[in-house]
Structure 1
Amino acid sequence: MESDLITGNLRMEDIINLDESKAMKLFKNRFKRYKKLVEKIGDEAAFEKMMEKYPEQQKALMGTFIDNNTLAQGFKKASPLLGLMGFVMEVVDISQNGTDAALEIQRVCPVLSIAKEYGFEQPCRVFCEMEQEATKRAFPGIKAVILSKQAEGDCVCVFKYERPANKAIASTTQMQSVFTQLLNRVLSLVGLVPNLINIGIKMLKLRRQN
């Protein structure tokens, strides 16, 4: 595992023993490795050097969650793993018009506070940009973009992922979604009742005053 931590790679067999302490070691070692490579061969070459095994790893890890699920379902299932690393995330399904799409919202970025220790103003190049590039190379049909960054003053980091919808998965998900939406609508309407009563009382008071 030590050699994998130095290059920033995470093996499948390491996951079972993963915790925030080991993840932080991985993060710090990636900063160290990237900084040394930049000093030696420049930023672009360093980026590509770090990317050598990344798409293959991404296909194994990420593919486990998204190959037979929508992106949103897969990301939600992967959330506990990211939680072990110190990330706090939410996932929003924005799929429509034949596109499987999701927003990944990161509320807590554990690498944000350590980037400057290694001479980086922000960690995005070493982590998020690399992560998204690896995803696009591992899954050619996926589009991945960064919409906001805590490192640039935004309150959260937001990543958008899109791919053509899998019809079989989409059909099952759509049926579940219709039921969920109907249930949520009923619950929302029930939740409105106290507010509607308050509005009615206030309107009556206004009429009496007039």
Structure 2
Amino acid sequence: MTLVARLDRFNRRHPWSHNDHYGRWVAGRVAASGARHVLDVGCGTGNLAALLRRRGATVTGLEPDPATARAAAQRFAGDPAVTILHTDFAGREPRRRWDAITLVAVLHHLPLVPTLRELRGCLAPGGRLVVVGCYREAGPADLLTALPALLANPVMGLIRHPARADAPPSHMTAPTTDPQETLADIRAAAAQELPGARIRRRLFWRYTLVYDAPGGA
């Protein structure tokens, strides 16, 4: 068995969410913008929505997977400030504008350039878009970033999920797909559709994007 195969086997026994790792960061960027009404695209079982609620935001979550949407709706059944809709981004309220929009590991499921354009149009003046995304590795810089993540991943698994698991937790069971765009592709698309967006390569095969719409006070 190769080292990579051994690491993969170990990681499956100690699963943890790379997306949730950035949840507090996302909630902090949203709170720093002063957003009151947030659209969480691809909300999953609602882990980010819960963090946003703790900071006083009202949240509308969109989730296309029926079982995941059902779990999120049940989770927030007693909270009128959280609305979970079983739909994808196309099923949002078409004329509504949001103080902030979040997408965590969602953008690579959607056509990149048209979606960035639509997201910009969904923001209220001065609104903030916060993305944690996945990208296709291509080139030495990606490989250099992947190496420390490859080594740190099992350590984080032991810390976050020390007991051996027979299956991934429910919040890690939504359908996934591999990203097609490289980080260079994403930077180019953002430069075209979201002028001034700040993009950073992050650990654990992720990047972050923050864009502030013009027109804020």
TM-score bin, normalised by smaller chain: under 0.3
Please give the TM-score of this superposition, normalised by the length of structure 1.
0.23
Higher relative contact order (CA 8 A, sep 6+): 2
Which structure: greater strand fraction? 2
Please give the TM-score of this superposition, normalised by the length of structure 2.
0.22
Larger radius of gyration: 1
